[in-house]
Amino acid sequence: MISAAVAAFAAASLAVTLQAQVTERPLPRIVKKDGRFALFVDDAPFLMLGAQVHNSSTWPAMFPKVWPAMEYLSVNTVEIPIYWEQFEPRPGAYDYSMVDRLLKEARQHRVRLVVLWFGTWKNGSQHYMPEWMKLDPIRYAHMIDKNGHAVDSPSPYAAASLDADKSAFTAFMRHLKTADPERTVIMVQVENEAGTWGSLRDYSPAAQKLFEAPVPAEVLRAMQVSASTRSMNWQEAFGGEAEVNFHAWSVAKYVGQVAAAGKAAYPLPLYANAALRDPLKPGAPGSYESGGPTDNVLAIWKVAAPALDVLAPDIYQNDPAAYLKVLELYHRDDNPLFVPETGGPAANARFFFSALGLQAIGYSPFGMDYTRTANAEETTKEREEFLKPWAMNYRLIGPMQREIARLNFEGKLKAVAEEKLKVAETLPFGAWNAVVWYGATRNNRAVGNPEPIGRALVGQFKDNQFLVTGYFSRVDFRPADPDKHRQFLRVEEGTYENGVFKFLRIWNGDETDWGLNFGVEPVVLRVSLATY
């Protein structure tokens, strides 16, 4: 009888041989040029049209409820967790079966993956640590709160936890490197909503000592605190924000070390996601998750965790003004905009266009598979109704995502979504202004849609040639020179197939006399203009 070890060796050799036959594709990477970012996949800008599965969906028995939903949504990327508890069932014994299964199924379904490393932190807690860690809370310590009680959150000063996470994450990344020459995985999330609910920081003796010590100079610089002649401790430097800033530094340092270890094994783009604080009326420390990459501490995270390429907001804001503010806050000169989780009412789907207008490299609503619904009675059909507003975005943009990503990287794209009481807006393109209206009928003026669900996108191919698309909106052009008038030379409707525009017909007459109108159907236009 062949021993298990020999069989495993033979299987591994076969896998290596098969892998060797696959041509290695270029590494995905984030590129910055002229102040704009793009995610390069296969050496060209790529727009991630993503959806994230529910938390407990990475099990083969759940996959039949995952892939059909992804297909319905027309995603090109699936965000899906790998659980530390599954990956390292015994100390140092790594189980790669789920990673391999995921790679195989994703390839069969022709989608890319963003893998979420549910490691030390998941929503501020340590619930995904393997059992053998949970059973040893002295070694793999929890945080200690102000009153000396253990909190349901890992200590960022638990050296054994850090070592274990670094080793496991490195093993995971090293495996990806050999198992994925196709680059099915294009990005990895390190931890999930790291930070703490229920305590502002760690009050363990080790943490307390550091809290009373001088603030590292790079933190003062990052937070633009002018250094006085004597060194300042956290309280002196930051007053009421001292504890959240200290915890952000502590957590970011830890996550940064996990990220750096993994990146040294396999340099894929890495990011961390944030449970947000209210962007318009931020409450006092304690009213939001402490320690994560919230908007007030992004600068601390950037210096503490340089191996992370992106700090990304999980946007569940229902207030449109708050949603848009979050997009602005995370679209920075040192940070590409990426929305790894979002949700809320159906009308929020329109903000995908707002994100594109800020050069987002990717977007991903959360909990989009069929494994779990709030309503047990819900049928697949009803579930699809829930997915539909998000699916509409991807069905429209998917076939031309490379074009959109390229135009955005070159600074030639503008996209907007409707806001209540704002029925028109102007998008400047040099000699032309594109004007967008919502709720306009024939030659009637715009009044806004009954629900603000309008969205529009304009890309500039050449001085007088544009790509125009949208839903529930009207787009027209005005010459920037007020003495001139616009005339349509040619308005072509078409579809993108494999990145190439395929002509369907020319729009004229009723189809152009009142502007270019977009309804519920996915319509793509290529518009050539002239003046008289």
Tell me which residues touch ligand DGJ (CB under 6 A).
Answer: 55, 123, 192-193, 314, 341, 366
Minimum distance from CB of 516 to ligand DGJ (Å)? Answer: 38
**Minimal distance in Å, beta carbon 370 to ligand DGJ?**
16
Listed residue (158, 171, 164, 187) closest to 251, CA to CA: 158
Least separation in angstroms between residue 325's CB and ligand DGJ is 19
Helix then strand count (H, E) for the chain reads: 15, 24
- Of the pair 53, 259, the CB lying nearest ligand DGJ is at 53
Cβ nearer to ligand DGJ, comparing 308 with 527: 308
Instruction: Name which of 111 and 368 has its Cβ closer to ligand DGJ.
Output: 368
Q: Which is nearer to ligand DGJ, 362 or 439 (CB)?
A: 362
Q: Which is nearer to ligand DGJ, 169 or 266 (CB)?
A: 169
Gyration radius (Cα) of the chain, Å = 25
CB of residue 283 to ligand DGJ, shortest distance in Å: 18
Q: Smallest distance from the beta carbon of 118 to ligand DGJ, in angstroms?
A: 8
Q: 354, 253, 348: which is closest to 306 by C-alpha? A: 253
Burial of 72 (0-12, 13-18, 19+ CB in 10 A): buried
Within 13 A of 111's CA, how many CA atoms are on the CB side? 28
| Residue 259: CB minimum distance to ligand DGJ, A | 17
User: Which residue in the shown chain puts its C-beta closest to ligand DGJ?
Assistant: 193
3-state SS string for 323-377: HHHHHHHHCECCECCEECEECCCHHHHHHHHHHHHCCCCEECCCCCCCCCCCCCC
Give the angle subtended at the CA of 96 by the CAs of 40 and 131, to the nearest 5°: 115
Helix (H) or strand (E) holding 453: none
* 58 HSE (CA, 13 A, CB side): 27
Residue with smaller CB distance to ligand DGJ, 292 or 448: 292
Those residues whose C-beta lies under 8 Å from the C-beta of residue 379, and which sit 6 or more positions away, are none
Minimum CB–partner distance for residue 376 and ligand DGJ (Å): 18
C-beta of 316 vs 461, nearer to ligand DGJ: 316
Structure tokens at 277: 């604080």
Phi, psi of 396 (to 5 degrees): -75, -50
